[in-house]
A and B are shown apart, each in its own frame.
Chain A
């Protein structure tokens, strides 16, 4: 592109970049204002930025409780996803055994079954096992939802590990489980980090599955909690904004530190698929 036209393109792109960031900047600013300040002027920077709204949202609104709920569920679900997903990914991506092809295709097929389509029967099944409105129920629902994707990514990662690596480890006297634990898990670290972060994002950000599986007020996850704020604080926008900000911060931190891994995970499906 010619020099001038490059800049002609860069200006609207910069405007778009601003439009991408501004809504969150605006929300942050509102969260630091008093109600009075907000009503008087919505855009001006907060006079004396105060954390009052944040502590109100955290304590009296109950976001602390919801935050803990989310943390428990997300940590357990991601740990299980990585364990089960890497075991299956190793077996389906690197080993050839009777039925392995069919099992892999079965997992791929599950990738194309969206949650909405199975949510009625799934909630019935979970009710049957007494898992509705329990932590294990939601953890299991998340594992089921994101496992096919996890297996797919781990299998395509392990498929690139040379066969010699597995053979050498077996000649050294390792059983298959030994190969998995001593060779495949350490080798898979980059993929595990990438998949783990993506799964953390998916689980943390979900609202539909949490609403369906863990509906009671004391069991609300953070995202379900934020949706309930809307009605309660419709006349106290700064507190509402503070709650939204608290819920967004963990993923923003993850984005700042792991941007590359997230992008790798997102693109893995496109380039390997």
Chain B
């Protein structure tokens, strides 16, 4: 708590007169010159409530003391009251320009000095308390914000974990495609990043792409509700069986609906879109809803193409693998799925990246197989 009054005057008589006025109300410090004043302020900066300053002193004068106080930012917390017999015009306004709080001309009146000192001390003590309070509150706010950021990060992690757990369940159930999900994620990212670069109208961002890539792991989550006799049938499906197989899209949505309140809204929404609509076709002849054109969510369009491409280049129980070139042409020509012109343009541009990823995944798989 600041309570002390520092009296700066080279004349003892003057210091004593001011001390006599103020010593009843405040502990008094005295400095007989500018140099001493500066070192005392430095030493007692958290105790001094006000400085009473004489201007004309040998060596370091009052103006020099003010200059130092201003440069050290001491004036923000410690007010200065100048007491002088100086009658030269302009001195008073110069003092105020330099940041003094009050100016008393000699001869001074004891009662006035006492009152002005009290006013300044009270005002600054109030101001300093307010600033301290604001500082503390800002500090608290910063801490809370940090905590919030950490919690958001945790939430994101747990969202990703939920998706990965579900994805793993699908992987285990869907014997034919151990690495399928990993590859679809990779193709999805390549395609989504190309879309973000070429077609800003879809509003894709780095964050949104992260969610789409993560959620793409769930595109076939509904397959856990398809019986083995259909899911793993090593031959062509009958018409009824195929209709049942198509229901993996809507069955997946039921699963997701049941866990909707567990995770973040953005993840839930994107997962649902992908799960339900990754078999829609741009011409409206897909399933389950027959959505056409840009009515199909962009997330589902991207994952749909990634999924179709992966199915072509992979071996399945019912078919062999196509070469990368064949797969590319089948998709671009509309032989396998119907996609939007924009997404096909991005697919063309990203052809090489798709093939690199497919190759790298295959090598990785072979390595693991040998080990």
**Do these two chains interact?**
no
> Interface on B for A, CB 8 Å cutoff?
none
